[in-house]
Every structure is written in structure tokens, then in C-alpha cells.
């Protein structure tokens, strides 16, 4: 019979693994210049990282939110009422104008890095607070 592992230990290990994964994501984003990439390389980057960075959905949401807020009665607002797939819409608009999409990515990478740093901080606080509690308990 194998010894039972304390769930708190598993949670701490998960938090440590999260931090490593988030740091890898920051390194990837900081080392990527979308404006200098070819269209095919942008597509490859988006496809390889869509599980944690849904760029087309973010772009589609940004575009539909801006059209709705301007009260324009364009096709896009009407489509929005019909519950379009925001990610598909973003992908379509990105393909139509890759220069704008690359500029968007360059700025959004900065935003995403900020969000990821917040996630790292949350995990670090979790580790610190729980480690202090366990040391007191021991």
C-alpha cells in the first residue's frame, strides 16, 4: 500500500507548476514580435497557443464591443444580435487585415503579460500563506 499524499502538498506542487508555466508564457510573449512575423508564422503561433491565449476571441470581442458602443447599424452589429461566434468573427477579421491584427497582438501581448504576472502573484501568495500556516502547525 502506497502512503497517502497530503492534499495540501499536492496543492502546493500545483501552484509551483502553475508559476513555472506562467513564466514560460511570459518568456514566449516577450520574445515574440508579431509585427516582424510573417502571416503564416502568426497563424502558427495562434494555433499553437490558443489553449491559453485565445487571440481570435479577444480580437473579435474587441471589434464587436467597439462597433456596438459606437451605435453603428452595420452588418457586424446585426450579426452580434444573432449571436455570432466571436472567435470565428475575430479570425475572419484578422485574415482580412493582418497588419491591424499584428498591431493588436503587439499591444495585447503587453496586456496578457500583465494578466499572467497577476496569476503568478496569486500562486506565490497561496504558497507563502499556506507554507506559513503549515510551519506554525508543525
Q: What is the pLDDT of residues 37-73, one digit of tens each?
A: 999 999 999 999 999 999 999 999 888 775 554 444 4
Q: Domain locations in the chain?
A: 7-137
Contact call for residues 90 and 63 (beta carbons, < 8 A): yes
Asked if residue 78 has pLDDT above 90, the reply is no
Q: Phi and psi of 72, rounded to 5°?
A: -85, 150
Q: What is the pTM of this model?
A: 0.79
Taking every pair of Cα atoms in the chain, the longest distance, rounded to a whole number of angstroms, is 68
| φ, ψ (nearest 5 deg) of residue 91 | -65, -45
Amino acid at each position: 500500500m502506497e502512503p497517502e499524499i497530503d492534499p495540501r502538498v499536492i496543492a502546493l506542487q500545483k501552484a509551483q507548476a502553475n508559476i513555472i508555466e506562467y513564466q514560460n508564457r511570459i518568456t514566449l510573449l516577450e520574445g515574440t514580435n508579431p509585427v516582424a512575423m510573417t502571416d503564416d508564422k502568426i497563424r502558427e503561433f495562434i494555433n499553437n497557443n490558443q489553449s491559453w491565449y485565445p487571440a481570435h476571441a479577444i480580437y473579435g470581442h474587441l471589434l464587436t464591443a467597439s462597433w456596438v458602443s459606437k451605435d453603428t447599424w452595420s452588418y457586424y452589429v446585426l450579426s452580434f444580435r444573432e449571436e455570432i461566434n466571436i472567435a470565428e468573427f475575430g479570425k475572419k477579421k484578422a485574415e482580412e487585415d493582418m497588419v491591424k491584427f499584428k498591431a493588436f497582438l503587439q499591444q495585447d501581448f503587453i496586456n496578457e503579460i500583465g494578466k499572467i504576472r497577476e496569476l503568478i502573484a496569486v500562486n506565490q501568495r497561496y504558497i507563502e500563506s499556506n507554507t506559513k500556516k503549515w510551519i506554525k502547525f508543525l
